[in-house]
């Protein structure tokens, strides 16, 4: 897998400042022809910042798409042409008020591969220091430093229910980074 999939036609049917939607007529290996629609996304970074006292720097962010405030780790969308590590250094400062002297690349992951091409570049950030950048004025964020045990309890209780945040936490835990 995959055998050959042929794109017969494609149309960008929708665009906004964050994503486009492309509709494709495709022919599957079986010969079946179907319409496949993809949300085209620039990609993003997800960051697990570990403070010098061992706490993990989470945030509480209001997410208008689901009308809830979620407990998450910091993240953000790549600007046009931006390298993932540069985006991560910008986002950690905008969202948490910290910079980091050490970065560990934890690889990439996909949040919604069924209908969206977003790729998330994941990093652990260490040796933190105060470094506040002004954040996006349309983001509503509170910084929430939590112990490892508190993060685990929040996942177990369902309070931490954001897939990218659960995933980066577990990837870092497996690597023995906290």
Binders of its own copies among residues 86 to 115 (CB under 8 A) are 107-115
Which is nearer to its own copies, 93 or 120 (by Cβ)?
120
Q: By CB under 8 A, name the one of 69, 82, 90, 178 that touches its own copies.
A: 69
Least distance to its own copies from the beta carbon of 144, Å? 11
Interaction of residue 25 with its own copies, rule CB under 8 A: no
Cα-based distances in Å from 32 to 27, 29, 64, 94: 6, 7, 38, 47
Dist. CA 69–CA 88, nearest whole Å: 22
For the record, the structure tokens of 168 come out as 């980066």
Which is nearer to its own copies, 97 or 99 (by Cβ)?
97
Which is nearer to its own copies, 51 or 116 (by Cβ)?
116
- Please report, as residue ranges, which positions from 47 to 66 form the binding site for its own copies (by CB under 8 A): 60, 62-66
Stretch that binds its own copies, among 49-57, 78-86, 90-98, 165-173 (CB under 8 A): 165-173
Interaction of residue 176 with its own copies, rule CB under 8 A: no
Task: Encode 120-137: b = buried (16+ Cβ within 10 Å), e = exposed.
Answer: bbbbbbbebeeeeeebee
Count of residues touching its own copies (by CB under 8 A): 71
Which is nearer to its own copies, 85 or 127 (by Cβ)?
85
CB 25 within 8 A of CB 3: no
In DSSP terms, 118 is beta-bridged to: none
Dist. CA 132–CA 107, nearest whole Å: 26
Which is nearer to its own copies, 108 or 132 (by Cβ)?
108
């Amino acid at each position: 897998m995959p055998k050959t999939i042929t794109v017969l036609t494609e149309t960008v049917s929708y665009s906004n400042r964050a994503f486009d939607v492309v509709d494709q007529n495709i022919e599957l290996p079986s010969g079946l022809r179907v319409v496949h629609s993809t949300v085209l996304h620039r990609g993003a970074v997800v960051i697990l910042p570990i403070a010098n006292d061992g706490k993990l720097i989470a945030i509480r962010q209001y997410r208008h798409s689901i009308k809830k405030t979620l407990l998450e780790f910091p993240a953000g969308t790549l600007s046009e042409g931006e390298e993932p590590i540069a985006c991560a250094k910008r986002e950690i400062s905008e969202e948490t008020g910290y910079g980091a002297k050490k970065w560990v690349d934890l690889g990439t992951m996909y949040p919604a591969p069924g209908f969206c091409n977003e790729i998330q570049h994941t990093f652990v950030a260490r040796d933190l220091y105060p470094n506040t950048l002004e954040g996006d004025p349309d983001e509503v964020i509170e910084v929430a430093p939590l112990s490892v045990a508190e993060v685990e309890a929040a996942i177990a209780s369902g309070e931490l229910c954001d897939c990218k945040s659960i995933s980066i936490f577990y990837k870092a835990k497996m690597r023995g980074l906290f």
